[in-house]
Structure 1
């Protein structure tokens, strides 16, 4: 990052300044996390960081069709605009929270003095990302897919193909990721192979090699399975590939590339591993008819890590945990893996959640907000992604995500939150969580965290999902607002039943796959009420950060020598 004094360029300074003020820097990585790494692991780190930077460039291309040109233009300007470069680094594009555009379209004068629009930036990010032609209509895509058969249809609905338009005929066709991003995937593949020869753990080496091959073949199933089978003894943990579907807001199909390299936290991993063995038990106790429950679930592997570096689809708000893969094929073979990023969670709690709680919660309940309650609910949120129906109860061949389309991501995040909280209640009652936070701490920390998520904006899946939960629980009496103090509180004699009711409601909506009923639910509850809006404005006015962003120590303390 350049260090020269920022000067105004094409940025709309006020929106950019406002966006950056919402985030607090935290130190990520560093030598204190590297004690268990072997010399080979340490030598592999610079290569892996280079992979992460290539993955970052892939995601910049995936985010929006004009994104690469915009990044190149901004980074080529002299003197450098430090704030603008930081904005692009954090958001991966020209839109911040609430999809607010903070960079104006780029215009220049030609040799005759006429203004020419060089890069037009839409008012908001396109729903189709850069996975489909910019002029595509939703129904056109659906009609095209309906007319396909065999492999052509599979590719058209694939996580790992983009859709293009033939400029001469106007017809749609698919291109595999291995071809679309070949300029980045080929060098990333070579770097992964080099890193595989250096790392000490052979299961990690196997994943790095098979993922390198997947970049070229476009077949990710085997390497996903290898990732799931990385040994719990590996001190280095790497996640790399196309996973999440949030950038494809039109259909929630196409996967975005992301990259993480972590140091394993062995002590915390041992404590949290007990949750994985309870997965089927939690599924069996969901408050829904048996039709909506899944049998023979694979217990997810659970590991706790400390992040060293990340790239790709890792725009703020920072990811504190993830449960992957999303592709159902490797899940059927080897289950899923839950990765809890402890140092990021600690940063979020101290810099964001605690200050929020002090401003929005009843003064008597603030003291019950605890890091361990936050930490364990994030864990249960990720575990809960595995719970409930993933295929429609009346059509076992149709995925929930396919039926709900643009509503799927928000509903899935809401499901994971509320079913995770419901599961916490089960584990408290049977003694699994004995000795840790009590029910009051979980519910009150959850209430404070609701404001943290809603501040991401209800155009974002997590924020919308949390807004729906908040309004439903308030309607059921689980949350209450004091107009005199302008503070919120948990109503302990009503919250448990409210959580149970909402868990049932969301699981049934997902399993039935009735998009119209889901729309009605989202329209009714996915709102910002006046009292919540007032609390959000108070947090904004007081300068309480919305989230954190990373400063990677691994790039600065000599651990990684290459900074290309």
Structure 2
């Protein structure tokens, strides 16, 4: 197996180098003695400046709501999640241990762990370890140095498979290896832990799901467990586990990464949210697009739930932390049965308190800061996830599912669709009296949310989506930047820009026009200089960009 990256040794502070590290110079004195001038390592400085963008948050919840058996299950689920974390490292940066062994600076080691590798995920994947080069678009899913064209021309039965990697055999020919073969040992351990948890589980739905998911991990056949997960209704504990999202595969947006969330359901909040999924078909009919783009009927046989998350692992823990989940990703299941939208309430509250409020005080117009509300933030995030079920899943041009037609351009545009259709849903539900509050709160908090998310950088799907929205709204006059360097929402133009952007994105998806989406990304998913200056102000004010969790059995007080 060819290694993806060669670990690069950090240069000693007293060594000569022509790189960004230390420098030695001759004083010009007529003596054999040379004077060494020790300079600070500029990459170490970079890390020292970037590390504070993460605010440390203890991830905990009230465990008194759990039964005795559920408390016994919880450590088993966390152990299984920890294995997903190890597998994600193998996908994102397989040489973790050899890399960390070369790094003496503790802050750099910590930053590597936060980013699951030597690239700053919230700064367009900028390398922060000397010599590693740019991040490969294909991570470790494809042989290092392989181009898209080589894969496209190769004769592979599982060319764009979600659960396999592409390798070269001894003759240099491309082959695919299934995850359950490549990671057999780790997956068997995780499967056994889920089976143990299933033996203890009292809830019938949870027991069935854990057994089926355990089987799925060692076969890469996830459909049955996805259906069982959607069928769970009365469980208090939950775990989302497996290879799920394809953000890490920037070559084709095809191959999935391992992750896990260990969740405790907030049954009272979940009960309050249940009614909204039933309104999807009516909202679909009223989308601001021609009829041919909204003929699909969203599935409604699923739930909208609120949880406290007690453990993040793998993909969802890398860089920016996920605060809401819409699964499963299988379009056929989505059309037939729908999805479950999981709102991670405690993580959401932490981001609101530690990040969104401070951003708003700095960048939102003083007269509109009164409209920044947690309930509006929660709703905007929630309806973002619900809105994944709206719109169009299959192209109207015969190009198959939108995901297949758009390939690596799919994820960022889909996130943009969910952002804007989530706001469209809020607007519609307020008019119908199905949602309470002031539209000004939802729109102003949405604007603040854009300013929060664009700090993730445009190398990440959500960052691209938010930049598209920012630039589109700016063109339509939906907000203005005041002479004080703050942003002020124009509520009437905000609503019309929302409808126009909704139509624009759904049309792009329905046409399956990959070239048009690429053009849109290049034109709209960019950060203007003025906005970058404003974002830099947030950094100078030491306002965090995201959070990093203290988590695990010790934090929770379980064994």
Q: Give the equivalent residue in structure 2 for 1:134.
A: 144
Q: How far apart, in 2, do the equivalents of 1:52 and 1:344 lie? A: 18
Q: How far apart, in 1, do the equivalents of 2:335 and 2:526 lie? A: 36
Q: Give the equivalent residue in structure 2 for 1:71.
A: 97
SS at match of 1:68: coil
Kindly indicate whether residue 337 of structure 2 is the aligned counterpart of residue 337 of structure 1.
no
Name whichever of 199-208 and 184-193 sits farther off: 199-208
Q: How far apart, in 2, do the equivalents of 1:85 and 1:302 lie? A: 38
Residues 295-333 of structure 1: CA deviation (Å, up to 9, x unaligned):
332124111000111211121211100101112243344
The 8 Å contact of residues 325 and 342 in structure 2, kept in 1 or not, is answered as yes
Q: Give the equivalent residue in structure 1 for 2:44.
A: 13
Structure 2 vs 1, CA of residues 8 and 271 (structure 1 numbering), >3 Å: closer, same or farther?
Answer: farther
Q: How far apart, in 1, do the equivalents of 2:213 and 2:336 lie? A: 17
Residues 394-435 of structure 1: CA deviation (Å, up to 9, x unaligned):
11x61212222222111111111011111111111111103x
The 8 Å contact of residues 55 and 544 in structure 2, kept in 1 or not, is answered as yes
The 8 Å contact of residues 324 and 344 in structure 2, kept in 1 or not, is answered as yes
Q: Give the equivalent residue in structure 2 for 1:354.
A: 357
Q: How far apart, in 2, do the equivalents of 1:433 and 1:528 lie? A: 33
SS at match of 2:200: coil
Q: How far apart, in 1, do the equivalents of 2:335 and 2:514 lie? A: 26
Q: How far apart, in 1, do the equivalents of 2:376 and 2:325 lie? A: 18
Q: Give the equivalent residue in structure 2 for 1:167.
A: 170
The 8 Å contact of residues 78 and 552 in structure 2, kept in 1 or not, is answered as no
Structure 2 vs 1, CA of residues 215 and 17 (structure 1 numbering), >3 Å: closer, same or farther?
Answer: same
State the 1:510 CA deviation: 1.1
Q: Give the equivalent residue in structure 1 for 2:416.
A: 414
Q: How far apart, in 2, do the equivalents of 1:282 and 1:477 lie? A: 26
If the length of structure 2 is used for normalisation, what is the TM-score? 0.89
Q: In structure 1, list runs of 5 or more residues that go unmatched.
A: 1-6, 106-120
Q: How far apart, in 2, do the equivalents of 1:181 and 1:264 lie? A: 31
Alignment of 1:62-461 (within 5 A): 62-63=91-92, 67-74=93-100, 82-96=106-120, 97-98=122-123, 99-105=125-131, 121-123=132-134, 125-144=135-154, 147=155, 152=157, 155-168=158-171, 170-231=172-233, 233-299=234-300, 300-314=302-316, 315-395=318-398, 398-434=400-436, 437-461=437-461
SS at match of 2:416: helix
Q: How far apart, in 2, do the equivalents of 1:414 and 1:8 lie? A: 45
The 8 Å contact of residues 265 and 307 in structure 2, kept in 1 or not, is answered as yes
Structure 2 vs 1, CA of residues 346 and 143 (structure 1 numbering), >3 Å: closer, same or farther?
Answer: same
Q: Give the equivalent residue in structure 2 for 1:3.
A: none
Q: How far apart, in 1, do the equivalents of 2:84 and 2:545 lie? A: 26
Q: Give the equivalent residue in structure 2 for 1:112.
A: none
Residues 110-154 of structure 1: CA deviation (Å, up to 9, x unaligned):
xxxxxxxxxxx233x21111111112111121122xx55xxx2xx
Q: Give the equivalent residue in structure 2 for 1:547.
A: 546
State the 1:506 CA deviation: 0.7
State the 1:546 CA deviation: 0.5
If the length of structure 1 is used for normalisation, what is the TM-score? 0.88
Q: How far apart, in 2, do the equivalents of 1:266 and 1:440 lie? A: 29
Name whichever of 331-340 and 423-432 sits farther off: 331-340
The 8 Å contact of residues 308 and 554 in structure 1, kept in 2 or not, is answered as no
Q: Give the equivalent residue in structure 2 for 1:39.
A: 68
The 8 Å contact of residues 115 and 319 in structure 2, kept in 1 or not, is answered as yes
Structure 2 vs 1, CA of residues 235 and 216 (structure 1 numbering), >3 Å: closer, same or farther?
Answer: same
Alignment of 1:460-479 (within 5 A): 460-479=460-479
State the 1:372 CA deviation: 0.5
The 8 Å contact of residues 264 and 307 in structure 2, kept in 1 or not, is answered as yes
Q: In structure 2, list runs of 5 or more residues that go unmatched.
A: 1-10, 14-20, 22-40
Q: How far apart, in 2, do the equivalents of 1:83 and 1:410 lie? A: 31
Question: Out of 79, 85, 89, which is 1:50 matched to?
Answer: 79
Residues 473-518 of structure 1: CA deviation (Å, up to 9, x unaligned):
1101111111x21111101221111110111011101111112221
Q: How far apart, in 2, do the equivalents of 1:335 and 1:273 lie? A: 14
The 8 Å contact of residues 221 and 329 in structure 1, kept in 2 or not, is answered as no
Q: How far apart, in 2, do the equivalents of 1:514 and 1:458 lie? A: 21
Q: Give the equivalent residue in structure 1 for 2:35.
A: none
Q: How far apart, in 1, do the equivalents of 2:50 and 2:207 lie? A: 40
Q: How far apart, in 1, do the equivalents of 2:49 and 2:183 lie? A: 34
Structure 2 vs 1, CA of residues 553 and 254 (structure 1 numbering), >3 Å: closer, same or farther?
Answer: closer
The 8 Å contact of residues 440 and 492 in structure 1, kept in 2 or not, is answered as yes
SS at match of 2:195: helix
